[in-house]
Amino acid sequence: MNDSVQTAVVGVTGYAGAELARLLLHHPRLQNKPPIFAGRVDATDAARGGIPLAEIHPELADSKGSGGLRQLPFSWELLTDLGAEVLFLATPHEQSREWVPEALKRGMRVIDLSGAWRLVEAENRAVYAFEDDGTELAASTQAQAVYGMPELHRKQIAGAKLIANPGCYATSVILPLRPLVAAGLVDLEYGIVVDAKSGVSGAGKAPTAKTHYMYAADNLSAYGAFTHRHTGELLEQIGLSTEQIFFTPHLLPIPRGILSTIYVRFREPQTRASIAQVYHRFFAHSPMVRIYDKALPQIQYSVRSNYSDIGFQLASDGRRAVIVSCLDNLLKGASGQAVQNLNVMLGWGESEGLE
């Protein structure tokens, strides 16, 4: 077990990057080893030694300025010279496809927040249309990847060189469904309906027609029914076939947070207690999952935390249930889970730096 580690972050400028920076800067194990931030830096900024973090994210400034932290011009030499041991990539998936093999070659362990290495089945990866799919390098890299959901794959994560950090929607659906499906309770013939809603930060920082305030505010819109990229993760991690799940994401007029409403039918009638027991057992050693025994969780309860909140209501016949799952898409759905994976990788307390 390491006492500390030298981390590096590529992609600090986005929303997930900002959260990742905040978490790493305050992580108790990293107080003497601030992360290296690297990325695109133009000549002017390079001349002044990089871009102060406080200019990129003013809310991260301490009162005496940026404390000297800067985004440096990315280069592999820089990362090697500065001794990067664990590399976080909060980059587009195309970039992660390209960079992960190089980082592994250089002996770094990688936690990749993109969708580049999450999917084992070629047909599920098709939606990404990776240019290198089918190459030997891609195949050998994929073979090393572990799906970074500690609640399901804690042991593999501990030894992994490459963590494929899960998608935000996928996390909000896999955690509540996996225990019930694995226990054989769900009648899959009826199919499962997942109606998911996410705040706007999930759509990324690039200004587009859909992230314009006037589009998102006072509105709700469904998108990507039957076609969302995260569907493949659901199939592989829960163990479902395409026609067994409806998954429709919606864009909520809030900055952050996901609520997924999940509709299932059971093979046999269940009670509140029987379902609760399945959950409590499955997550007995998972500090970042909260099971709601009475009320349903709401987005507000988990926003700005790394918790995944799960609650449910049963129909009076015990055959049907509505499950409500909430989390913060930038934390448990991205950067918080990435830090949780870091903790598990290094043998630290799973929730260190996350409370």
By annotation, the residues acting in catalysis are 168
- DSSP annotation of 354 reads -
> Which residue in the set 223, 267, 269, 271 belongs to the binding site for a copy of itself (CB under 8 A)?
223
**CA dist., res. 75 & res. 176, Å (int):** 40
Cα–Cα–Cα angle for 223, 224, 227, rounded to 5 degrees: 175
> Which residue in the set 90, 290, 333, 334 belongs to the binding site for a copy of itself (CB under 8 A)?
290
Q: Which stretch binds a copy of itself (CB under 8 A): 121-129, 143-151, 293-301, 335-343?
A: 293-301
**CA dist., res. 353 & res. 108, Å (int):** 22
Q: How far is the CB of 216 from a copy of itself (least distance, A)?
A: 4
Q: Which of 51, 49, 46, 56 is nearest to 20 (CA)?
A: 56
- Please check whether residue 30 is in contact with residue 341, taking contact to mean a CB–CB distance below 8 angstroms: no
Q: Which stretch binds a copy of itself (CB under 8 A): 73-81, 108-116, 280-288, 332-340?
A: 280-288
Which secondary structure element, helix H or strand E, spans residue 273, and what is its range? Answer: helix 272-282
User: Which residues are CB-contacts of 22 (< 8 A; sequence separation ≥ 6)?
Assistant: 60
Q: Closest CB to a copy of itself among 148 and 257?
A: 257
Q: How far is the CB of 196 from a copy of itself (least distance, A)?
A: 10
How many other C-beta atoms are found inside a 10 Å radius of the C-beta of residue 21?
25
> Which residue in the set 4, 298, 318, 352 belongs to the binding site for a copy of itself (CB under 8 A)?
298
> Which residue in the set 78, 158, 182, 322 belongs to the binding site for a copy of itself (CB under 8 A)?
322
> 14-53: which residues touch a copy of itself (CB under 8 A)?
15, 26
- Please check whether residue 99 is in contact with residue 89, taking contact to mean a CB–CB distance below 8 angstroms: yes
> 86-145: which residues touch a copy of itself (CB under 8 A)?
none
Is 175 buried (19+), middle (13-18) or exposed (0-12) by CB count in 10 A?
buried
Binding to a copy of itself by residue 58, rule CB under 8 A?
yes
Binding to a copy of itself by residue 76, rule CB under 8 A?
no
**CA dist., res. 319 & res. 245, Å (int):** 18
Binding to a copy of itself by residue 297, rule CB under 8 A?
yes
> 239-278: which residues touch a copy of itself (CB under 8 A)?
243, 246, 248, 250, 252-255, 257, 259, 261, 263, 265
Q: Which stretch binds a copy of itself (CB under 8 A): 33-41, 68-76, 138-146, 287-295?
A: 287-295
Q: How far is the CB of 67 from a copy of itself (least distance, A)?
A: 11
> Which residue in the set 286, 329, 334, 346 belongs to the binding site for a copy of itself (CB under 8 A)?
286
**CA dist., res. 97 & res. 114, Å (int):** 9
Binding to a copy of itself by residue 230, rule CB under 8 A?
no
**CA dist., res. 355 & res. 351, Å (int):** 7
> Which residue in the set 217, 239, 267, 271 belongs to the binding site for a copy of itself (CB under 8 A)?
217
Q: Closest CB to a copy of itself among 40 and 304?
A: 304
**CA dist., res. 282 & res. 324, Å (int):** 17
